[in-house]
Chain A
Amino acid sequence: MNEKPHVRLEILSNPLYLCGARELVSAVAKRLSFDEMACCQIALAVDEALCNVIRHGYDRQPDRPIWLSIFPEGTPDRPDMLRIVIEDEARQVEPNVIKSRDLDDVRPGGLGVHIINEVMDDVRYEKRGPVGMRLTMVKRVATESASGGPASCGGSESSPCPGCNHG
Chain B
Amino acid sequence: MVSPKGDLDMSRSPALRNSLRSVQGDKPVTLIVNLASVEYMDSSGLATLVEAMKNAKSNSTKLVLCAMNQKVKALFEIARLHHYFNIVASLDDAIGA
B-binding residues in A (CB < 8 A): 14-16, 18-19, 22, 40, 44, 47-48, 51, 54-55, 103, 106-109, 111-112, 114-115, 118-119, 153-155, 157, 160-165
Which of A114, A153, A160: most chain B CB closer than 10 A? A160
Residue from the list A51, A103, A108, A112 in contact with B51, Cβ < 8 A = A108
- Partner of B9 from the list A18, A115, A162 (CB cut-off 8 Å) is A18
B39 at the A interface (CB under 8 A): yes
Band of interface residues on B: 20 to 34
Quick one: given A51-B42, A106-B50, are A118 and B10 in contact (CB under 8 Å)? no
Q: Are B69 and A163 in contact (CB under 8 A)?
A: yes
**With A108-B48, A118-B78, A155-B70 as contacts: A18 and B43 at CB distance below 8 Å:** no
Interface residues of B, Cβ cutoff 8 Å to A: 7, 9-11, 39-44, 46-48, 50-51, 54, 69-75, 77-81, 84
Contact A111/B79 with A47-B42, A54-B10, A163-B41 known, Cβ cut-off 8 Å: yes
- Residues of A close to B39: CB separation below 8 A: 163, 165
Since A111-B46, A161-B74 are in contact, a sample of 19 more A-B pairs with Cβ atoms closer than 8 Å, ordered by chain A residue number, is A15-B10, A18-B11, A19-B9, A44-B75, A107-B54, A108-B50, A109-B43, A109-B47, A111-B43, A111-B79, A115-B43, A155-B70, A160-B73, A160-B75, A160-B78, A162-B78, A163-B71, A163-B72, A165-B7
